Structure 1
Amino acid sequence: MPSGTLRLGQGEFGPGAYAVMAVLNRTPDSFYDRGATFAFDAALAAADRAVVAGADIIDVGGVKAGHGEHVSTEEEIRRTVPFVAELRARHPGVVLSVDTWRAEVGRACAEAGADLINDTWAGADPDLARVAAEYDVGLVCSHSGGLAPRTDPHRVAYADVVDAVLRGVVGLAERAVSLGVHPDRVLVDPTHDFGKNTYHSLELTRRLDVLVRTGWPVLVAVSNKDFIGETLDLPVGERLPGTLAALALSAWQGARVFRVHDAAAARRALDTVGELAAP
């Protein structure tokens, strides 16, 4: 079913093209920036810098992924929708993504101009795929090991984590298409660290080619994550070299979209991989 070319908004990414997705957290408690882009103007400035640095996609989130203060649907909409609308006017050619598991938020952001719904919680709200179909926007199909949104993994186990992820994301991708999401707007994400320990995330990185061979464009979101920190015994602020190594390995195996905190460094690393891979 995948067409080979990923089409999101005005963006088209064919085989061999690497799309940089810049993280923009409109949250006061992000694990990485601790609220540096929570304020509207600070977030706009960060988005502008990411575009200049070579980001193809801006991924806007209004709720911290892990444990933290409860954020209502109304508050998540307040944090994301006006910002998406402003970005749409400010950067008409850039692909805009919203990181949410809630159908109501996805709908409001699609109406404001979002091109992609980044569902990192594996269809926890089954209506989210229907929203993507209704508004003809893209959808990221992820794997969270059955955990509810904002739940951290605890003693998780898989007979084969790659097989479990493969079955999960392909099943969600096929469901999305059956509901009317266009096949060239669907991505799959192994979702490192969500419902997984460090061993699982490392194994997924080593064997990412298994997902690539499904034909669905693969998104990787490894930037500064705990599995990199635990592997290298480094705090969040010192994980960039490990992040770039994981990005390069993922790109070499055929991943297509890369969700990152440092768009400039990722763009340089991915461009280098592209030159090395060129015949």
Structure 2
Amino acid sequence: MNWQTSRFSIALDRPLVMGIVNATPDSFSDGGRYAHSARALQHCEQLIKDGADILDIGGESTRPGSPAVGLEEELARVLPVVRGAVSMGVPVSIDTYKPEVMQAVLDLGVDIINDIWALRQPGAQAVVASHPACGVCLMHMHRDPQTMQASPMDGDIVLQVRRFLQESAESLRAMGVQPDRIVLDPGVGFGKTVEQNFSLLAHLAEFLADGYPLLAGWSRKSSLGAVTGLEVDHRMVPSVAAALLAVERGAHIVRVHDVRETVAALSVWKAARPSASLVR
């Protein structure tokens, strides 16, 4: 199985690590640390050294209750980072829901659009469908970042999320997008309770029946804090544990802050697989 993107056909025969680059002043985990483009690009280089297979750059925080960012501000945050990142030799993803941002970064050579709205904003589907090869990650989100945790989902969480993602993928395919360009993300933390998030993790393998690769984003999420009592800056260990559990249940890509530690943990996981052979 491969994920077709703008410049790369990404083999998914092993778990891949997507490194998070927050070019924002207010992200829940590392807000402000990489808000300047030079620092963000240094972070990109470090993530690649640490073993990141994909870079995921975002210019707007989507933590619960976060305010929306205007188009010009988001472009000012991400475009300088994108211009540098596309020359680093790895696939580059942009975390955005604005079609104007999508078009601008695709014009610069970005490989993947990672959209928390699953292309539901007017014009977003058309941007992706008109591109000959870019990859896309469709994520499930209940309500919007400003209100999603005020009134989380109810009912059969797994069934609802699966149905939404199936319909989103089918809608995009009806516009001519080939299935090998599509990855699905159940959207941990986006309008779900702690129990619902862990239910998605427990039942993640069920999503594989729909035929698309899966991305899991557990890194430093509040649900991990809820079960461990750890503040966000101390959630590296539970984040790595959640990433491994997601991979064990079928995730092809894990989106993480702590790339080096996740890569190391995956090395142990791979060595313990029945088909693994240790290099001596």
Do 1:16 and 1:274's aligned partners in 2 also have CA atoms closer than 8 Å?
no
Structure 1 stretch 191-200 or stretch 78-87: which is displaced more? 78-87
Aligned to 1:199: 195
Aligned to 1:158: 154
Mapped pair 1:35 → 2:32: yes
State the alpha-carbon separation in 2 of the partners of residues 118 and 111 from structure 1.
16
Q: Pairwise CA RMSD of aligned residues?
A: 1.6
Mapped pair 1:64 → 2:61: yes
Do 1:56 and 1:94's aligned partners in 2 also have CA atoms closer than 8 Å?
yes
Q: Deviations over 1:161-201 (max 9, x none)?
A: 01111001111111112112221110000010101111110
Gaps of 5+ in 2: 276-280
Aligned to 1:232: 228
The one-letter code of the counterpart of 2:219 is: S
Which of 215, 219, 244 is matched with 1:219 structurally?
A: 215
State the alpha-carbon separation in 1 of the partners of residues 267 and 6 from structure 2.
23
Aligned to 1:241: 237
Mapped pair 1:115 → 2:115: no
Do 1:82 and 1:112's aligned partners in 2 also have CA atoms closer than 8 Å?
no
Do 2:16 and 2:53's aligned partners in 1 also have CA atoms closer than 8 Å?
yes
State the alpha-carbon separation in 2 of the partners of residues 177 and 126 from structure 1.
17
Aligned to 2:259: 263
Closer, same or farther: CA 152–159 of 1 in aligned 2, 3 Å: closer
Aligned to 2:72: 74
Closer, same or farther: CA 16–150 of 1 in aligned 2, 3 Å: farther
Give 1:278 shift.
4.1
Aligned to 1:180: 176
Deviating 4+ runs (over 4 angstroms): none
Q: Deviations over 1:60-86 (max 9, x none)?
A: 100010333442111111111222112
Q: Deviations over 1:221-275 (max 9, x none)?
A: 1000011111111110111111111111111111101100011111112222222
The one-letter code of the counterpart of 1:63 is: E
State the alpha-carbon separation in 2 of the partners of residues 126 and 209 from structure 1.
32
Is the partner of 1:179 in helix, strand or coil?
A: coil
Aligned to 2:17: 20
Is the partner of 1:165 in helix, strand or coil?
A: helix
Closer, same or farther: CA 180–85 of 1 in aligned 2, 3 Å: farther
Give 1:104 shift.
0.8
Aligned to 2:81: 83
Aligned to 2:51: 54
State the alpha-carbon separation in 2 of the partners of residues 111 and 212 from structure 1.
32
Mapped pair 1:130 → 2:109: no
State the alpha-carbon separation in 1 of the partners of residues 263 and 71 from structure 2.
33
Gaps of 5+ in 1: none
State the alpha-carbon separation in 2 of the partners of residues 137 and 12 from structure 1.
10
Aligned ranges for residues 94-109 of structure 1 at < 5 Å?
A: 94-109=90-105
The one-letter code of the counterpart of 1:148 is: D
In the comparison of the two structures, how many residue pairs are matched? 273
Aligned to 2:278: none
Do 1:121 and 1:149's aligned partners in 2 also have CA atoms closer than 8 Å?
no
Is the partner of 2:210 in helix, strand or coil?
A: coil
Is the partner of 1:24 in helix, strand or coil?
A: strand
State the alpha-carbon separation in 2 of the partners of residues 9 and 276 from structure 1.
34
Do 1:142 and 1:191's aligned partners in 2 also have CA atoms closer than 8 Å?
yes
Give 1:49 shift.
0.3
Structure 1 length normalisation: TM-score?
Answer: 0.93
State the alpha-carbon separation in 2 of the partners of residues 179 and 270 from structure 1.
37
Do 2:97 and 2:115's aligned partners in 1 also have CA atoms closer than 8 Å?
yes
Give 1:150 shift.
4.1
